[in-house]
Amino acid sequence: MRIKFFFFCLVCSTGVFAQVAKPLQFSEEIFDFGSIKEQAGPVTHEFTFLNNSSRHVKIVGVQASCGCTTPAWSKEPVAPGKKGFIQASYNPVGRPGYFNKSLTVTTDLDSNPIILQIKGQVAVEGEKENVQFQAANGSWKLKSGSFNLGKVFIKDEFTVRDFQVLNEGSKPVTFSGKYVGPAYIKIDVQPKTLAPGEKGNIKVSYNGKMKAKYGFQSDNVELYTDDELNATKSFSVYATLEDEFPQLTAEELAKAPQLRVQASTLDFGRLRPNVPSVREIQFYNTGKKELDIKSLQGNCTCVTASAEKTSIKPGESSLIKISLNPQDRKGSLQKSLTIYSNDPQNPVQRITFSGYVE
């Protein structure tokens, strides 16, 4: 009864369907420069965003959290369906070590600021430059014990990322060129032989179309070397897979499918341990072409979901059934479901839900 009342109030009070997509959709809100050299001077990154709103949006101001960060941004109003940018420059001179700075972006769209972050590690000449290599795998040391490729598009070509490696052993280590892993992941190390104290790159290539799944994915690879400390080196490979959409004109966007979800949040109320609870939530196609639900992914094994219909015509609606199993957890529970669709403006949308396990 509580859930029915929740939906009734929601629909009556708003008269619209909530969606997770933001009016200004940034391609990323956190950027990691990795290791940068103090003596090389300032570094710059450009955050780009898409105006998903129905009107022109002007960036009113960008406030950096410290004077070492110099921002710039699109000065002219950004039209609906068009892209703008926020640029951040960081000066590492006299600032060795880790940094994490923020940019507070205000617009004339609403009073809610947007927070962007830049971070990295400022290395200086000499031994301090190797401080960031903390993850040991035999004689090899890396910045992380796994390879996180970030966003990978589902298309028939390999996305390539480089990961630095340091031989901190007393003998050369040679990569044999052989590795074990899925066909959609390729591994190479350059140079093949790393002398003591020498750095190289582990090149990880990932084919999203061959993987043919959506959302966060985890795999494992094993590299074969002649390292006396650990010849077979095992690594996890992480990637978040999404469709890539070309930039569309305003006319093309008006004819595209549009996913609208009845609510972006859902309250499961009180739950009993190891007893699944099921809720339904409605979604709609408010666009002009057929909407396809590509995948539904919970953020843990305790969440499963299925759509009553995975393809709906313009003006139609369907239901998503969400099952939450608290398993052996106790107390407050916060989980989410990510919806992947062919809506070119908002292909990735998320429903968050909560509950309390008694």
Choose the CATH number for 250-357 among 1.10.287.3510, 2.60.40.10, 3.40.50.1580, 3.30.930.10.
Answer: 2.60.40.10
Q: Which CATH number applies to 133-242?
A: 2.60.40.10
State how far the Cα of 356 lies from the Cα of 358, in Å rounded to an integer: 6
250-357 and 133-242 share a CATH fold: yes
Please enumerate in sequence order all residues whose Cβ is within 8 A of that of 161, keeping only pairs 6 or more positions apart, or say none. Answer: 147, 149, 150, 203, 204, 206
Q: Which segments of the chain have a pLDDT < 50?
A: 1-20, 127
Is residue 178 helix, strand or coil? strand
Domain ranges of the chain: 23-125, 133-242, 250-357
CB 282 within 8 A of CB 309: no
pLDDT of res. 97 = 75
Q: pLDDT, tens digit, for every residue of 184-214?
A: 999 999 999 999 999 999 999 999 999 999 9
Give me the amino acid identity at 37.
Answer: K
What are the Cα distances from residue 333, in Å, to 40, 187, 273? 47, 39, 11
Q: pLDDT, tens digit, for every residue of 249-258?
A: 888 888 999 9
Q: Does domain 23-125 have CATH number 3.40.50.2300?
A: no
pLDDT of res. 126 = 53
